[in-house]
Structure 1
Amino acid sequence: MQKDLLQIGSKTFSSRLIIGSGKYKDFATTKQAALASGAQMITVAVRRVNITNPNEENLLDYFKDTSIEFLPNSAGCVNAQEAITLFSLVREAVGIDFIKLEIIGDTQKTLYPDVIETIKATEVLAKEGFCVLAYSNDDPIIAKRLEDAGAAAVMPLAAPIGSGLGIQNRYNIAFIKDAVRVPVIVDAGVGCASDGAIAMELGADALLSNTAIAAAKDPVMMAEAMKHAVIAGRQSFLAGRMEKKSFASASSPVFGMAKL
């Protein structure tokens, strides 16, 4: 059986789970959870987690003996120019051009993305050779605009960042899948492993989970649970769901049933 691999830009992954690095109690726990998750990528908010200053405790040092790749993100940026400048500095400092673009429009309450600024930044960064994974709202029109702007993947939110509410509009994920050809990675709002399975059953190509793992009572155990949920959800999607029916249907055939 051919392996079910995830292709993003020029890179190929066997894991369809990406995890975040924020909100853990320390870098050691971050690493333990990452390894338990089976993820091959971990996002890093460059403005909040150190990967560029060798003179301070550096998350990169904890992952040197692993094959997990870093996915820098622009959390904390509020416009296109800030994000473009940040990623240019990251590429110069650590040589990474595989990035998660995140530009927040409402920094006080919803943490919803500014999709206009995100599209602007995507156009510039893609032309400069970055592989852009673009965080956005769950709007199929915006997803298509991001793809047209050069995004290598679109990352619609399931619910507000860190809310743990799970997927609030399942139809929109399906609409986005129909609208674009690039991978769709459900991002933000996942609260537990079952949410991850649902995202994958809806046809998402991958899942990003941070707070659901980091804020769990046992982050390492939740990371492992999320790994299994993503695998199960993907297999369920590929297997094909049974048709829904309005009435009961006996599991066993009635023809030829012996009379008592």
Structure 2
Amino acid sequence: MTEANGLIQPNDSDAHDTWRLGDLDLHSRVILGSARYPSTQVMLDALSAAGTQLVTMAIRRVDPKATGGENLYELLTDRGYLVLPNTAGCFTAQEAVLTAELAREALGTSLLKLEVIADEETLLPDPIETVAAAAELVKRGFQVLPYTNDDPVIAQRLEDVGCIAVMPLAAPIGSGLGIRNPHNFELIVSRASVPVIVDAGLGTASDVALAFELGCDAVLLNTAVAQARDAVRMARAVRHAAISGREAFLAGRMPKRFYADASSPMEGRIGARNAAWP
């Protein structure tokens, strides 16, 4: 990924495998968050290293009075990034809908990452409130990307109400535990007709590779990159992992077997298995 005239441009390896998210055609399958970095400059360097196009930002961090480097939204958009506002901190559908409306008024976008949390300890999504909020937001013209559990039934319900993607968690937010239930992700992917984006709980590049090997369309990371010892290097690793995992998925892995299957031909062997030594 390179920058030209202030806009993010793909390298050849990115440009050949685009995906569609609502009205957007994207070449990067890595979405990054904008929080918890050691500094603003580290964040910007990490975004560039990851090759990301889409960056999430909590709506409560939008300060319309901020100027220059203090205005995160302008800082990102001036560099060519697309901003995905989220409703982090909401605990009911009503709170999420109100927050979404404020975001649309402040930022002029209907693209929204929906987060409705069940409690402050686990930060797990509340599936009932999430589905209710998603249905209402779709009616109001939002393009909704809901953070949800790794439950194939809930994922299907969210697609049914009109969400443009589903974002099941790999593990609790910030845990870095990686994908706890690969089988559920395979089920979600097999049934979905919208993009499946792994959200929350990824800890390192190998988790990202697995997400793509399972057939997911994109990943969203924040803490895994921002809190790494070297955030920029981890961002670069994540980008390469995404490409590798996606390539492996498209290539198609060999079938698993219970017993060994020799790769060398049996013809031309010297002697029989039970032949006596002379």
TM-score bracket, shorter-length normalisation: over 0.9
* 1:126-154 CA-partner distances (Å, limit 9, x unpaired): 11111100100000000011011111000
Residue in structure 1 matched with residue 275 of structure 2 by the alignment = none
Asked if residue 246 in structure 1 is aligned to residue 255 in structure 2, the reply is no
Residue in structure 2 matched with residue 78 of structure 1 by the alignment = 91
Residue in structure 1 matched with residue 217 of structure 2 by the alignment = 205
CA RMSD of aligned residues (A): 1.8
Asked if residue 141 in structure 1 is aligned to residue 156 in structure 2, the reply is no
Structure 1 residue 256, shift from structure 2 partner: 4.7
Normalising by structure 1, what TM-score?
Answer: 0.94
Residue in structure 2 matched with residue 59 of structure 1 by the alignment = 72
Structure 1 residue 258, shift from structure 2 partner: 8.0
Structure 1 residue 159, shift from structure 2 partner: 0.4
Q: Which moved more, 1:24-33 or 1:159-168?
A: 24-33
Structure 1 residue 254, shift from structure 2 partner: 3.1
SS at match of 2:96: helix
Structure 1 residue 161, shift from structure 2 partner: 0.4
SS at match of 1:63: helix
Residues 122 and 146, structure 1, Cα contact 8 Å, conserved in 2: yes
SS at match of 2:118: coil
Residue in structure 1 matched with residue 130 of structure 2 by the alignment = 118
* 1:142-185 CA-partner distances (Å, limit 9, x unpaired): 00110111110000000000000000000010111123211110
Letter aligned with residue 32 of structure 1: D
Asked if residue 187 in structure 1 is aligned to residue 199 in structure 2, the reply is yes
Percent of aligned positions with the same letter in both sequences? 51
Normalising by structure 2, what TM-score?
Answer: 0.88
Stretches of structure 2 lacking an aligned partner (at least 5 in a row): 1-12, 272-278
Distance across 2 between alignment mates of 1:40 and 1:193: 18
Distance across 2 between alignment mates of 1:183 and 1:111: 23
The count of aligned residue pairs is 257
Distance across 2 between alignment mates of 1:65 and 1:253: 60
Asked if residue 92 in structure 1 is aligned to residue 143 in structure 2, the reply is no
Residue in structure 2 matched with residue 23 of structure 1 by the alignment = 36
Structure 1 residue 206, shift from structure 2 partner: 0.7
Distance across 2 between alignment mates of 1:224 and 1:155: 22
